[in-house]
């Protein structure tokens, strides 16, 4: 069962939205290699209602969209500007009118829209994981790098909520949370009674009551340990069925650490974070809201570790590439396993002429886009880090990659 995520400013996001498509590898690949007769307008809007700028009478995303169209319209195009082209003006009017008419649930926390001038492509996505910023692009094919970044930050994660008497499984992906079948494991104590009253007076009643309570507590503790051990084994098998490669353990203080110790080794390797929180019986949306920072930190840590692994492999003489010139050369040869870059591009002059030609002679500001397209075409992973996330990238020319061979 899937649950909409309640937002304090924008209301609940409904279950019929299309933001789950943002994680669909086939959709991203389809967009990355799309060929159309005319150019494509790509629109990204940071509509997140949690942002103060988006609570103004004229929301920040609307101002950014208008400014973006104004700047695009001034782009030189043949003997005039892009704003002189009828197809551009037609698409601009459609987007401006349509986006303003969207319901808050349809705007979600981000919007991505791809429209071909020849009408062959028209795809709008509502995103629960927002793009980093708003942006409008006019290019020969869809501008996909921001969407690839959203998909990377949306990677599926299994949440294992552990309490002393129950274990619950939830699935998080793209800011949305769902509850798989057979997701709850509960402790069954059996027919135990607390002997708190007696049929006849008993001089030793106080001592017997205390002893009985202690014995009962010991029995409950033993059953709880046995339950956690059995649940860990059962859930280890269940994770394989669910296909979870990344798991976050969420435990209350009563059992913190004990459950993790009982997990099979192959499952322990998938645990990317352990959080102490008492949210076992919380609504799924509340669980997602409680863990949003932890999940974001898990993604950042994964990216940092990937970058460090690439740097170590390159320093060791194989398995890694550093700098745009070397990384692009490996991309052309389909050798890249995972591409990791910062937000800054290298000047085109630093890229050898043959490499620039091979990747389509990218215009200023389009190097990352062309590299991302190449990575998607070859099945490589892509992670975009800010300078705060991975300072080592600056010393590596802004980009590193792990290699297949």
CATH number of 299-403: 3.30.1330.30
Span 175-204, average pLDDT: 61
Question: Does the structure show a pLDDT above 60 at 336?
Answer: yes
SS3 state at 377: helix
Domain ranges of the chain: 2-153, 157-282, 299-403
Cβ–Cβ under 8 Å, residues 16 and 106: no
Q: Do domains 2-153 and 157-282 have the same CATH topology?
A: no
Residue spans of alpha helices (H) in 316-386: 324-332, 353-358, 367-377
pLDDT digits (tens, 9 = 90+) for 212-223: 666 656 666 677
Residue 263, CA distances (Å) to 28, 54, 228, 236, 278 in order = 35, 44, 9, 7, 20
* 157-282: CATH topology: Nucleotidyltransferase; domain 5 (3.30.420)
83: which 2 tokens?
Answer: 């704003």
Span 251-278, average pLDDT: 82
Confidence of residue 4 (pLDDT cuts 50, 70, 90): very low
- With a pLDDT cut of 70, the percent of the chain lying above it is 85
Residue-level pLDDT at 194: 35
Look up the CATH architecture of domain 2-153. 2-Layer Sandwich (3.30)
276: which 2 tokens?
Answer: 């102490």
Angle, helices 367-377/25-32, rounded to nearest 10 degrees: 120
Cβ–Cβ under 8 Å, residues 343 and 118: no
């Amino acid at each position: 069962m899937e649950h909409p995520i309640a937002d304090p400013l924008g209301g609940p996001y409904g279950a019929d939205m299309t933001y789950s498509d943002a994680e669909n590898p086939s959709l991203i690949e389809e967009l990355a290699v799309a060929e159309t007769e005319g150019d494509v307008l790509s629109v990204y809007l940071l509509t997140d209602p949690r942002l103060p700028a988006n609570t103004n009478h004229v929301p920040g995303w609307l101002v950014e969209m208008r400014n973006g169209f104004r700047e695009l319209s001034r782009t030189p195009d043949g003997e005039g500007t892009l704003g002189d082209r009828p197809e551009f003006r037609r698409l601009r009017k459609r987007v401006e009118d349509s986006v303003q008419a969207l319901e808050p649930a349809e705007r979600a926390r981000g919007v991505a829209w791809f429209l071909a001038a020849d009408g062959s492509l028209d795809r709008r996505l509502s995103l629960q994981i927002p793009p980093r910023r708003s942006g409008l692009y006019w290019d020969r094919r869809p501008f996909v790098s921001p969407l690839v970044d959203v998909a990377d930050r949306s990677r599926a994660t299994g949440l294992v909520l552990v309490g002393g008497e129950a274990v619950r499984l939830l699935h998080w992906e793209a800011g949305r949370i769902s509850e798989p079948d057979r997701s709850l494991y509960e402790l069954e104590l059996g027919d135990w009674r607390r002997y708190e009253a007696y049929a006849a007076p008993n001089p030793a009643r106080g001592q017997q009551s205390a002893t009985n309570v202690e014995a009962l507590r010991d029995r409950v503790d033993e059953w709880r340990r046995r339950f956690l051990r059995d649940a860990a084994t059962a859930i280890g098998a269940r994770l394989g069925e669910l296909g979870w490669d990344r798991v976050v353990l969420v435990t209350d203080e009563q059992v913190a650490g004990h459950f993790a110790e009982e997990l099979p080794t192959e499952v322990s390797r998938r645990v990317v974070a352990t959080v102490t929180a008492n949210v076992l019986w919380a609504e799924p949306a509340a669980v997602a809201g409680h863990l949003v920072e932890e999940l974001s930190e898990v993604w950042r840590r994964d990216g940092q570790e990937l970058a460090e692994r690439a740097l170590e492999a390159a320093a060791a003489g194989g398995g890694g590439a550093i700098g745009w010139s070397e990384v692009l050369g490996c991309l052309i040869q389909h050798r890249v396993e995972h591409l990791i870059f910062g937000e800054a591009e290298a000047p085109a002059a630093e890229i050898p002429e043959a490499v620039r030609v091979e990747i389509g002679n990218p215009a200023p500001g389009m190097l990352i886009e062309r590299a991302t397209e190449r990575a998607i075409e070859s099945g490589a992973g892509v992670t975009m880090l800010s300078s705060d996330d991975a300072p080592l990238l600056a010393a590596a020319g802004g980009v590193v990659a792990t290699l297949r061979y």
